[in-house]
Amino acid sequence: MTSYDSDKAAKLHRELHSHLPPAPALRLKALETVLTEKGFLGADAVDMWLDNYSENVGPMNGAKVIAHAWTDQAFADRLAGNAISAFAEVVPSVEPDYNLRAVFNTPDVHNLIVCTLCSCYPLGILGMSPSWYKSTEYRARAVRNPRGVLQEFGIVLPESVEIRVWDSTSDRRYMVIPQRPDGTEGWSEEQLATLVTRNSMIGTARDLAPRAS
């Protein structure tokens, strides 16, 4: 007679399902499969779209603009005055009526972006939004306890540094302009752009100093 061990069965069930993607990912894959089978979507269309946003469109656009601001003070001033107009000087494909404000980190000020009502996020500027940015916990705690949130991202700031939290909406988006790291004198804009990260443009990264290879 075959015996039944409930603990062993439960363990086996967990192991089998631990390798499955989360439910939203499974639903998305199923939808992608149906659209592909019906000819509405190319077999590699989604992968191409994601690659384009992650490698070319998103954070790379913001990084180019920030690198240019680091090397051209007149451009940085224009970016502070009319962000989208200045942005278009470097990335002409950006939407000209996009309401964007650039906020600059300084030794005495650190900026942090959040969207408390939803998860408004400038995809074409910052790239794909991270999952934590859309979470209820981040959206609530970034306003109530920004210093604590930053500590969880590894940013420990002295009390003398002011933290400014900017709440994005569907009408206005923000991007953080981090400080240029020391030790990058003589670097080209292309080299500088490699230091800029998506998180630094949100404000959950501050130290962009080049790492020794």
120 is catalytic: yes
From 6, 85, 120, 160, the catalytic residue? 120
93 is catalytic: no
| Residue that is written with structure tokens 């630094």 in the block | 200
Q: Which two tokens stand for residue 8?
A: 């062993």
Q: How far apart are alpha carbons 83 and 124 in whole angstroms?
A: 14
From 85, 93, 115, 200, the catalytic residue? 115
Encode burial over 142-174: b for 16+ CB neighbours within 10 A, e otherwise.
beeebeebbeeeebeeeeebebebbebeeeebb
Sheet strands (E) in 56-195: 100-104, 109-114, 162-167, 173-177
Spell out the domain ranges in the chain: 45-202
pLDDT for res 207: 94
From 6, 18, 119, 135, the catalytic residue? 119
From 85, 118, 135, 188, the catalytic residue? 118
pLDDT for res 161: 98
A 10 A CB-CB count for 48 gives: 11
170 is catalytic: no
pLDDT for res 1: 46
Closest alpha carbon to 83 in 173, 163, 199: 173
Could you give the angle at the alpha carbon of 122 between the alpha carbons of 79 and 139, nearest 5°?
Answer: 110
The number of C-alpha atoms within 13 Å of 99 and in the hemisphere containing its C-beta is 7
Q: Quick check: 150 and 111 in contact, CB under 8 A?
A: no
pLDDT for res 213: 54
pLDDT along the chain (213 residues), means of 10: 53 49 59 69 62 55 95 98 94 84 98 88 77 90 96 96 94 94 96 94 95 64
118 is catalytic: yes
Q: In the structure, how many helices (H) and strands (E) does the chain have?
A: 11, 4
Looking at domain 45-202, its CATH class is alpha beta
